[in-house]
């Protein structure tokens, strides 16, 4: 749509919306660069179900979405990313517009792309996103923290791609801090099933609880009771990811470790896929992982152990993987051609274990990596 057509269309929308578009269900404003504000009359689009705001240089919006109870899907995309630094006014404007786009509580799918503000809006939480099922965050250039998503009661699918400024994921992702009061029934990510995090070049740390910088380890308190570490107390009271099925981390080259709780608390975990996580050295202590472990191009990987329920293991591009053990339920081992030499250190042990437990040889296959 040409700029002049956009202006004419928006003039009509502003003046006659109350009867002309009262039954409109889908509104797409893709690359209407002549638009700089949305009319207040948009609040009368009571039947709106899908709203797409991509590539429009908007700097003012009315509270147009909060009462759109039929709106189930929302896509927001900022202007194309560029190499040079954004001006402070541009960043402030992006944050301000995003803050004003408060959606209906019935929203089920939200897609964010090319956002260059430094912070996510304050409405990212249970009050306004209580019905959200699917969330995608792509190409966030400047946000150093993820929004507090752990308390969203219906979130099932979460995709995070290219958050360039992110170096650490901590308790803010769950939605609370060490000193926040929490009840004994608190569950983090109560319905999350799939988490995919991809292309995070600067991400180094991942935890669910704040580290305790100063803690004296005593045999007991003066009253004779055993000393309880704060992080252990939190772990005991906070349930994590009870419906989690699949975790995929792809091209996160600086990530050092996986959180202990991902292995211990995810009782329904079926698939763990690690691709291009070169700084990870071990995958250990996943007692509930029940189907597939896939590790590709993780050059720093040295050890895989204590995964008693894994039935399929796929490995290639891991030249330093010298220890693989504790996979008592393994049925299929898939190895890349590049793994033949290093795997000779541990495949015989897996064969012996499988023969002892199941009375037959372990099936070993060659992966095609071309």
Beta bridge partners of residue 73, listed in sequence order:
50, 109
Residues with Cβ within 8 Å of 218's Cβ and at least 6 positions away in sequence, in order, are 227
Q: What is the pLDDT of residue 220?
A: 43
Give the residue among 160, 174, 151, 60 at the shortest CA–CA distance from 111. 160
Q: What is the pLDDT of residue 59?
A: 67
The three-class DSSP label of residue 173 is helix
Residues with Cβ within 8 Å of 248's Cβ and at least 6 positions away in sequence, in order, are 194, 195, 196, 197, 198, 271, 273, 275
Q: What is the pLDDT of residue 222?
A: 42
Q: What residue spans define the domains of the chain? A: 274-370
φ, ψ for residue 261 (rounded to 5)?
-65, -25
d(CA 60, CA 97): 6
Q: What is the pLDDT of residue 16?
A: 57
pTM of this structure:
0.81
Calculate ∠ Cα 104-110-114, nearest 5°: 125
Token pair 């042990």: residue: 349
Residues written for the chain: 370
Residues with Cβ within 8 Å of 97's Cβ and at least 6 positions away in sequence, in order, are 58, 59, 60, 61
What string of DSSP letters covers 294-348? EEES-TT--EEE--TT--EEEEES-TT--EEE--TT--EEEEEGGGHHHHTTTHH
User: What burial class does residue 172 get, using C-beta atoms within 10 Å of its C-beta: 0-12 exposed, 13-18 middle, 19+ buried?
Assistant: middle
The answer to whether the CB of 207 falls within 8 A of the CB of 155 is no
Q: What is the pLDDT of residue 157?
A: 98
**pLDDT in single tens digits along all 370 residues of the chain:** 444 444 444 454 555 555 666 778 887 777 676 776 776 666 677 777 777 766 666 666 667 677 778 889 998 888 766 677 888 888 888 898 899 889 999 999 999 999 999 999 999 988 899 999 999 999 998 999 999 999 999 999 999 999 999 999 999 999 865 555 555 567 899 999 999 999 999 999 999 876 433 333 344 444 434 444 444 444 445 789 999 999 999 999 999 999 999 998 999 999 999 999 999 999 999 999 999 999 999 999 999 999 999 999 999 999 999 999 999 999 999 999 999 999 999 999 999 999 999 999 899 999 986 6
Q: What is the pLDDT of residue 84?
A: 74
d(CA 138, CA 259): 23
């Amino acid at each position: 749509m040409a700029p002049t057509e956009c202006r004419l269309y928006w003039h009509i929308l502003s003046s006659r919306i109350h009867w002309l578009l009262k039954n409109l269900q889908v509104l797409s404003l893709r690359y209407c660069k002549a638009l700089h504000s949305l009319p207040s009359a948009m609040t009368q689009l009571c039947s709106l179900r899908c709203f797409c705001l991509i590539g429009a240089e908007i700097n003012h919006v009315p509270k147009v979405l909060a009462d759109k109870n039929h709106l189930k899907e929302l896509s927001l995309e900022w202007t194309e990313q560029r190499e040079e630094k954004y001006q402070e006014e541009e960043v402030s404007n992006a944050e301000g517009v995003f803050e004003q786009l408060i959606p209906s509580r019935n929203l089920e799918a939200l897609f964010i792309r090319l956002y260059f503000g430094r912070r996510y809006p304050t409405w990212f939480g249970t009050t306004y996103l209580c019905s959200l099922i699917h969330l995608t965050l792509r190409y966030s250039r400047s946000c150093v923290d993820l929004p507090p998503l752990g308390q969203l009661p219906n979130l099932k699918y979460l995709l995070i791609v290219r958050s360039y400024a992110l170096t650490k994921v901590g308790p803010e992702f769950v939605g609370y801090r060490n000193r926040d009061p929490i009840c004994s029934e608190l569950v983090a990510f109560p319905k999350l099933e799939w988490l995919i995090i991809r292309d995070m070049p600067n991400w180094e740390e991942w935890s669910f609880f704040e580290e305790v910088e100063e803690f004296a380890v005593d045999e007991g308190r003066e009253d004779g009771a055993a000393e309880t570490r704060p992080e252990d107390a939190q772990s005991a009271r906070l349930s994590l990811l009870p419906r989690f099925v699949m975790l995929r981390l792809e091209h996160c080259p600086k990530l050092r470790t996986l959180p202990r709780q991902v292995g211990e608390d995810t009782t329904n975990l079926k698939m763990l896929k690690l691709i291009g996580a070169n700084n990870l050295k071990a995958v250990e202590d996943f007692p509930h992982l029940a189907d597939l472990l896939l590790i590709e191009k993780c050059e720093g990987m040295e050890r895989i152990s204590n995964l008693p329920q894994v039935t399929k293991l796929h490995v290639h591009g891991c030249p330093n993987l010298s220890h693989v053990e504790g996979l008592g339920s393994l049925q299929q081992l898939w190895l890349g051609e590049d793994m033949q030499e290093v795997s000779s250190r541990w495949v015989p042990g897996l064969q012996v274990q499988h023969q002892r437990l199941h009375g037959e040889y372990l099936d070993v296959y060659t992966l095609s990596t071309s």
